[in-house]
């Protein structure tokens, strides 16, 4: 199995797009946030641990359908780029979208009133929002109508967060 493995160097905040039926695995210690459609379109080729979601592997079926070469990477859609602020759409599913927001220096980003709800996940740095401070690996669920400004706590440290919004 290891002879077929391509190890990809990753840093905190990187986004990896894995299309359905492309064999992939996480190495021990890699922490992820996974966004996927509600349709379970994956097949289990093999698994180093006990499979909890089913009592078997799908090796034969998975290999028959597997993509053995990943598609060319396409840059993410840039929604906003200005001094110290970069907003990219990293997930564009029919039911929801996710933006990666990077802020540096004494910047901020105004949130429009939230239509349904929003999920904010801090990836790196610290976020000031609603009178509180949030650090990496903390998440917030913002209610309908919420409106505020996303602000880095420490201007010398980059702030990276994910903003997930349902399509209402």
Question: Residues 130-144: what's their mean pLDDT?
Answer: 95
Share of the chain above pLDDT 90, in %: 51
Helix (H, G, I), strand (E, B) or coil at 60: helix
Buried-state track 24-61, b at ≥16 Cβ within 10 A, e below 16: eeeeeeeeeeeeeeeeeebbebeeeeeeeeeeeebeee
CATH 3.40.190.10 applies to domain 77-166? no
- The token pair that represents 158 in the structure block: 């980059």
- The token pair that represents 134 in the structure block: 């949030």
Domain boundaries, the chain: 1-73, 77-166
- If phi over 0 gives left and psi between -120 and 50 gives alpha, with beta otherwise, what is residue 29? left
pTM: 0.83
- The CA-based dihedral angle spanning residues 52, 1, 12, 109, taken in that order and rounded to the nearest 10 degrees: -70
Distance CA 62, CA 29 (A): 26
Q: Which residues contact 61 (CB under 8 A, 6 or more apart)?
A: 43
Distance CA 8, CA 18 (A): 13
Length of the chain: 168
pLDDT in tens, 43-100: 666 666 666 666 666 777 777 888 778 788 889 999 999 999 999 999 998 899 999 9
Question: Residues 122-147: what's their mean pLDDT?
Answer: 95
- The CA-based dihedral angle spanning residues 34, 35, 38, 44, taken in that order and rounded to the nearest 10 degrees: -40
Question: Residues 23-50: what's their mean pLDDT?
Answer: 74
Q: Is the pLDDT of residue 155 over 80?
A: yes
């Amino acid at each position: 199995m290891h002879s077929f493995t391509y190890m990809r160097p990753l840093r905190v905040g990187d986004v990896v797009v894995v299309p359905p039926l492309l064999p992939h695995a996480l190495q021990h210690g890699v922490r992820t946030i996974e966004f996927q459609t509600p349709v379970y379109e994956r097949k289990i080729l093999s698994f180093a641990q006990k499979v909890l979601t089913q009592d078997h592997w799908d090796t034969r079926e998975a290999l028959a359908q597997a993509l053995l070469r990943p598609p060319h990477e396409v840059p993410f859609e840039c929604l906003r780029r200005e001094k110290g602020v970069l907003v990219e759409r990293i997930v564009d599913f029919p039911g929801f979208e996710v933006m990666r927001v990077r802020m540096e220096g004494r910047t901020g980003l105004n949130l429009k009133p939230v239509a349904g709800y929003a999920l904010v996940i801090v990836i790196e740095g610290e976020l000031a929002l609603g009178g509180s401070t949030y650090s990496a690996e903390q998440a917030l669920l913002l209610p309908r109508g919420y409106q505020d400004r996303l602000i880095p706590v420490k201007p010398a440290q980059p702030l990276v967060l994910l903003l997930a919004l349902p399509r209402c």
